[in-house]
């Protein structure tokens, strides 16, 4: 939202980042320069929980022991979904300033951008809300792990689903493959994802 900068505020800077991905696709992404944010004004809390490596290994060991399937996803442009409590002003990006019109105006951000200090945190808050709506509970021992207990079929067989969250990398595992697939579909309706299928790799391992 283009607006006038309130007095006593400095706008956050931004720049374009261009990348060529390993599969040849090209990407242009506008990122905020988080280091130009002012503490207490532009941000407060920045900590965002991720799963502990130990939990990841423990869950993988359980998956092998119980012959569970693993399904991996990554959420596309995850950080752009976040909402703020703070009002953040950002200068207009290069190439978007029209000469003679609103040259001195700044943007008041409605959604998060990559590079902002609290980007990971505000994304995690949105993700957490959506997982709760889908019936997943965050466990106390590790804020990066969610569980879902449901029943399936006529015989009401109990099923357990475990979700590992590492920023925007998601790993699904659980006892019932069909049920897991159904919950994964539900998750992908909420968030636009890249479906990596049966997990060959997670967190670069």
Judged by CB under 8 A, the residue of 99, 140, 155, 156 near other proteins is: 140
CA atoms within 13 A on the CB side of 41: 14
Lookup: tokens for 202:
């997670």
Q: Is 183 in the site for other proteins (CB under 8 A)?
A: no
Q: How many CB atoms lie within 10 A of CB 167?
A: 20
What whole-number distance in Å separates Cα of residue 164 and Cα of residue 50?
A: 9
State yes or no: residue 55 binds other proteins (CB under 8 A): yes
Q: How far is the CB of 172 from other proteins (least distance, A)?
A: 14
22 binds other proteins (CB under 8 A): no
User: 65: which residues sit within 8 A by CB, 6+ positions away?
Assistant: none
Contact status: 160 vs other proteins (CB under 8 A): yes
Nearer to other proteins, 59 or 116 (CB): 59
Only one residue has tokens 């060959």, namely 200
- Binding to other proteins in span 63-122, by CB under 8 A: 63-65, 67, 70
Task: Considering only the stretches 53-61, 85-93, 103-111, 112-120, report the one whose residues sit in contact with other proteins under the rule CB under 8 A.
Answer: 53-61
Q: What is the smallest separation between the CB atom of 48 and other proteins, expressed in angstroms?
A: 18
- Reference 36, options 74, 86, 79, 90; nearest CA is 90
Under a CB-based contact definition with an 8 Å cutoff, are residues 111 and 80 in contact?
yes
Footprint on this chain of other proteins (rule: CB under 8 A)? 53-55, 57-65, 67, 70, 139-142, 145, 147, 149, 160, 162, 199-205
């Amino acid at each position: 939202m283009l607006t006038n900068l309130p007095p006593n505020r400095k706008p956050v800077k931004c720049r374009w980042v261009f990348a060529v991905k390993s599969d040849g696709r090209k990407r242009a992404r506008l990122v905020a320069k988080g280091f130009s944010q002012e503490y207490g004004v532009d941000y407060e809390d920045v900590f965002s929980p991720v799963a502990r490596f130990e939990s990841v290994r423990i869950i993988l060991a359980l998956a092998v022991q119980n012959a569970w399937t693993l399904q991996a996803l990554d959420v596309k442009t995850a950080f752009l979904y976040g909402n703020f409590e703070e009002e953040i002003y950002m200068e207009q990006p290069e190439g978007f300033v029209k000469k003679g019109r609103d040259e001195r105006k700044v943007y008041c951000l409605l959604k998060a951008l990559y590079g902002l200090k609290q980007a990971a945190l505000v994304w995690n808050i949105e993700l957490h809300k959506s997982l709760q709506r889908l019936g997943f509970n965050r466990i106390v021992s590790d804020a990066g792990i969610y569980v879902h207990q449901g029943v399936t079929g006529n015989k009401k067989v109990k099923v357990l689903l475990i979700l590992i969250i590492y920023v925007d990398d998601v790993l699904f595992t659980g006892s019932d493959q069909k049920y897991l697939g159904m919950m994964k579909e539900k998750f992908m309706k909420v968030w636009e994802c890249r479906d990596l299928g049966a997990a060959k790799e997670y967190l670069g391992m």
